[in-house]
Structure 1
Amino acid sequence: MDKVVVVLMVAVPAIIVVALVWVPAVSTVVLSFTDWNGIGNLGDIKFIGAENYVNATSNYPPFQPAIEHNLLWLVVFFLGPTLLGIFLAVLLDRELRGSKIYQSIFFLPVVLSLALIGFIWQLIYSRDQGLLNTVLGTQTDWFGDSSVNLWAVLVAAGWRHTGYIMLLYLAGLKAVDPVLREAAAVDGANEVRTFFQVIWPVMRPVNIVILVITVIESLRAFDIVWVINKGRNGLELISTLVTQNVIGEASRVGFGSALATIMIAISTVFIVIYMVQVVRERR
């Protein structure tokens, strides 16, 4: 009976993962080499080799801006929300008065979906009645002006990402052996030196996790941009281009699959880095 339970506990999740993750992923890669306009035209699937990739990188004007915006998203997330989240985690780890309340406040945006965050920030960024324009005394169209809307969205998305990184890093700091801090204090090291020379090296596994999460979050950014303007007018991202081509007015499943495969390839590089790090730590 125990063996049956164990087999079921392993087999059922494995089947679900294969059916909902691996089959769609492999199908996406296969379809990226075809010319296909959707499920209603199963008989029209035609193999065209790497033509979709050539068209995406050479003959598709939104592709380059989308790549640039995703890279900018990644850089801003590293320099802003990620570093701020680490800084907040270090402060809260010192058991300040009311630290639990601060943790709840900073973590609150994490439990909200990016779509809901988009709606919340639309109230702040509204041109006519928004809080920001009221305070500044301007009428800037923060989400409609292509010269500023990407930065406005990054602030909104970074608001959520900061709390996520804070929680991960705070959990890592709580797991650090107090003996290390005590030994550093005995040697005469101040708090800054203790953090960078003792705590930071010990937190290497957490740092790798944060690196991978930040990269993946930057690549899969979609909800908030789609809510605002469906990824157009200065908010082009790879994920929105995939959606526009797969389920848009002009359904091009093969071409959209090629764009999705590019996303998978970029994400895989960082996932492999993370897995290599995990294997090394276990050894």
Structure 2
Amino acid sequence: MSSDLPLVGVRPDAGERTPARRRKAGNRKVSRLTSRDKVVLGIMVAIPTLIELLLVWLPTGLSIGLSFTKWNGLALSNIRNAGLSNYSFVVHDYPPFWPAVRHNIIWLLFLGFIATPIGLLLAVLLDQKIKGSRIYQSIFFTPVMLSLVLVGVIWQLVYSRDNGILNHLLGTSGKSNAIDWFGDSNVNLWAALVAATWRHAGYIMILYLAGLKGVDPSLREAAAIDGASAVQTFFRVVFPAMRPINIVIVVITIIESLRAFDIVYVINRGTNGLELISALVIQNLVGEGQIIGLGSALAVILLVISLVPIIFYLVRTFRKES
């Protein structure tokens, strides 16, 4: 009998195809979803999507629509079409708008060039594996867990003219020359920025600590072998290696500066030198003198400005992935 004839019941290519077919069969079994799985996944996707639509996108759409109207917030029959008049009024005839824009820019610069470097410095120091590092991390991160309203209340105790800790340390507490840190329009913005920095620096510290942990140790070793000092290693090797974290922090800082509201609203409702765009939105949407159309126009302007860094970050992220 010729040895070239195949064995009965065995395909000639069985040894080649059987493992591949088994892998394909295994993959099909793993990827196949039962009806119950599809229902569960559908519910898990549908509920967050519905919540997002109801609580975010629906109010956003309504705000955009109301920004082109004149309405006092009472009867729906009082809604009148206003076109672009609300936006024109905000830009040309609304006195607090441009001071609020200037204050938001100052807020951004302060967080970007003072608060963020402080957070970076804290992260670098705590990354040195010093004794009690976890305790220090908890201490510096505690303000992040507090709401900005509570942060404002705490700093009111610090800045109080008559009983504040700061005036007590300066020896002016209860005297005529005591500084009214939150009441004086010349200094209250900077006082509020110090309070915001207290919270923002801890947040940045945690982000940079995570970034430092992700840097390949071999990069530092190579820099040390080449004779680089610790400062040179950080700025020329470690910091550039954290570029993704740096981009995230830049975006977060911009958004934080734009959405700043709680502290100034607790202090004096965003008036007397503490005007911010977010505070102007609430002033026009809530209260007796509410002007829904004007407040909605301010909210849309703030939304458009906020979308710029978000879109920039998403474009860079998706471009990197592609």
Pick one of 154, 157, 166 that aligns with 1:123: 157
Q: Secondary structure at the match of 2:63?
A: helix
Answer whether contact 1:73 1:218 (CA < 8 A) is retained: yes
**Deviation of 1:25 (Å):** 1.1
Q: Secondary structure at the match of 1:251?
A: coil
Q: Secondary structure at the match of 1:95?
A: coil
Counterpart CA distance in 2 for 1:93 and 1:199 is 12
AA aligned to 1:124 is: V
Counterpart CA distance in 2 for 1:134 and 1:214 is 33
The runs of at least 4 consecutive aligned structure 1 residues that moved more than 6 Å come to none
Instruction: Determine the structure 2 residue equivalent to 1:172.
Output: 211
Gaps of 5+ in 2: 1-35, 173-177
Residue 41, structure 1, aligned to residue 80, structure 2 = no
Counterpart CA distance in 1 for 2:293 and 2:157 is 38
Instruction: Determine the structure 1 residue equivalent to 2:26.
Output: none
Counterpart CA distance in 1 for 2:156 and 2:209 is 30
The superposition leaves residues 193-237 of structure 1 with CA deviations (integer Å, 9 ceiling, x where unpaired) of 222222222211111111111111111111111111111111111
Residue 22, structure 1, aligned to residue 57, structure 2 = yes
Answer whether contact 1:32 1:255 (CA < 8 A) is retained: yes
Counterpart CA distance in 2 for 1:277 and 1:196 is 23
TM-score, normalising length: structure 2: 0.85
Pick one of 168, 171, 177 that aligns with 1:137: 171
Instruction: Determine the structure 1 residue equivalent to 2:243.
Output: 204
Counterpart CA distance in 2 for 1:43 and 1:270 is 38
**Deviation of 1:182 (Å):** 1.9
Q: Percent identity?
A: 61
Residue 193, structure 1, aligned to residue 228, structure 2 = no
Indicate the RMSD between aligned Cα atoms, in angstroms: 1.1
Counterpart CA distance in 1 for 2:245 and 2:37 is 36
Q: Which has the larger radius of gyration?
A: 2
Instruction: Determine the structure 1 residue equivalent to 2:132.
Output: 98
AA aligned to 2:277 is: I
Instruction: Determine the structure 2 residue equivalent to 1:109.
Output: 143
AA aligned to 2:164 is: G
Instruction: Determine the structure 2 residue equivalent to 1:53.
Output: 87
The superposition leaves residues 11-60 of structure 1 with CA deviations (integer Å, 9 ceiling, x where unpaired) of 1111111111111112111111111111x321111111110011001111
Counterpart CA distance in 1 for 2:225 and 2:53 is 53
**Deviation of 1:275 (Å):** 0.4
Counterpart CA distance in 1 for 2:224 and 2:188 is 48
The superposition leaves residues 84-140 of structure 1 with CA deviations (integer Å, 9 ceiling, x where unpaired) of 101111111111111111111111111111111111111111111111111112211
AA aligned to 2:261 is: F
Counterpart CA distance in 2 for 1:222 and 1:110 is 15
Bigger relative CO (Cα 8 Å, ≥ 6 apart): 1
Gaps of 5+ in 1: none
